[in-house]
Amino acid sequence: MSVPPEQHDDPIPARAGVGLKPEHYADILDGAPDVGWFEVHAENYMGEGGPPHHYLTAIRSRYPLSVHGVGLSIGSDGPLDRAHLARLAAVCDRYRPGLVSEHLAWSTHDGTYLNDLLPVPYDDETLRRVAEHVDEVQSTLGRQMLLENPSTYVQFESSDLSEIEFLTELVKRTGCGLLLDVNNVFVSATNHAYDARAYLDAFPVEHVGEIHLGGHAEDRDDGDARLLIDAHGSAVADPVWDLYAHAIARTGEMPTLIERDNDVPPWPVLEDEARRAERVMRARGSNRVSAR
């Protein structure tokens, strides 16, 4: 399907943004920090009223906003939850985000919501189904969406495409964009013993509209191999910063989100990480930009 180009009055700039947490509402409104934009999880703003809408409305009037869905279960083997898609559309109508994104994952089965981003096999059947769901989301929202590469802990014997092939074909079929989560690349590459840089070199960067940076935790698997967990509860790790520099050299300057969902630190900690991302972006992304 064809997707209308982005025509939003408040686009997300090629700067660092921060995931918005209720703990920081007051810091942001009182301190007016110089960050490029904020991102919210759509599901946290699906209530009828109250402080979440009050504060987000105030923050949205001062900053560009990106809406990131975590519960649409686009990778479900059943139909999309239309009621939930309608709620997502309502959040977008209300807050006019510059970008809207979701995950290549599933989280609902038979009406039960599992509150985790569960993996899909990379095969033709899954590709067909996910493409249908992305089409449905984009036609309902009337705009392009970005789909995020997942962090995974297991693989499927039935997968006969690589993740890159799967995402590339999905973009071709639906016209969606991609959200490149660099921490997820590092987590999945470590967990499945492949080269994260080679993955980034093969990634269809011309379709990337946003980058995510977050923290991970570390464990060991059944065979005592490293097992990284996408926990979003700590600072961005050094190897992920290195990979980010590698990615940004390919994508050019790109909206980059600092994500912290658990053990949320005081606001200045996240603002520092956002500044660091912008330094990397300015230092490494300029080659690509000047080459345009």
Partner 1 sequence: MQRVFARSVLDAARTVPDGVTSHTGPRPKRRFDVYRNNVYVSLIDVLAGRYPVILRLVGDDFFRAAARCFVEACPPRSPVLMEYGDGFAAFLEEFEPARPLPYLSDVARLEWAWNRAYHAADRQPLSADDLAPIAAEDVPRLVFELLPSVSVVSSPYPVFSIWSTNISDVEVEPIDLASGGEDALVVRPHLEVEVRRLPHGAVGFVSALAEGACLAAACERAMAESPEFDLQTNIAGLIASGAISGYRLPGGTEI
Q: Which residues bind partner 1 (CB under 8 A)?
A: 43-44, 46-54, 70-73, 76-78, 81, 84, 87, 106-116, 118, 121, 153-158, 191-193, 219-223, 225, 227, 229
Q: Which is nearer to partner 1, 53 or 197 (CB)?
A: 53
Selection from 187, 209, 194 nearest residue 162 by Cα: 194
Distance separating alpha carbons of residues 202 and 195, to the nearest angstrom: 11
Instruction: Tell me the closest approach of the beta carbon of residue 174 to partner 1, in angstroms.
Output: 21
Q: Which is nearer to partner 1, 63 or 106 (CB)?
A: 106
Angle between helix 124-141 and 82-95 (nearest 10): 40
- Indicate the helix (H) or strand (E) that contains 260: none
Q: Which is nearer to partner 1, 77 or 206 (CB)?
A: 77
Instruction: Tell me the closest approach of the beta carbon of residue 28 to partner 1, in angstroms.
Output: 16
Instruction: Tell me the closest approach of the beta carbon of residue 4 to partner 1, in angstroms.
Output: 27
Instruction: Tell me the closest approach of the beta carbon of residue 84 to partner 1, in angstroms.
Output: 6
- Indicate the helix (H) or strand (E) that contains 218: strand 217-220
Place of tokens 């014997």: 157
Distance separating alpha carbons of residues 133 and 131, to the nearest angstrom: 5
- Indicate the helix (H) or strand (E) that contains 141: helix 124-141
Place of tokens 């919210």: 40
Reading the block at residue 195, the tokens are: 């080269």
CA geometry: angle at 27 spanning 276 and 103, to 5°? 60
Instruction: Tell me the closest approach of the beta carbon of residue 207 to partner 1, in angstroms.
Output: 26
- Inter-CA distances, 143 with 2, 22, 75, 170, 188, Å: 10, 28, 19, 16, 29
Q: Which is nearer to partner 1, 86 or 269 (CB)?
A: 86
Instruction: Tell me the closest approach of the beta carbon of residue 46 to partner 1, in angstroms.
Output: 5
* Helix, coil or strand: residue 177: strand
User: CB-hemisphere CA count at 13 Å for 84?
Assistant: 18
Selection from 72, 161, 181, 75 nearest residue 118 by Cα: 75
Distance separating alpha carbons of residues 131 and 125, to the nearest angstrom: 10
Q: Which is nearer to partner 1, 116 or 272 (CB)?
A: 116
Q: Which is nearer to partner 1, 71 or 98 (CB)?
A: 71
Instruction: Tell me the closest approach of the beta carbon of residue 164 to partner 1, in angstroms.
Output: 17
Q: Which is nearer to partner 1, 38 or 45 (CB)?
A: 45
Instruction: Tell me the closest approach of the beta carbon of residue 50 to partner 1, in angstroms.
Output: 5
Distance separating alpha carbons of residues 217 and 70, to the nearest angstrom: 20
Q: Which is nearer to partner 1, 134 or 254 (CB)?
A: 134
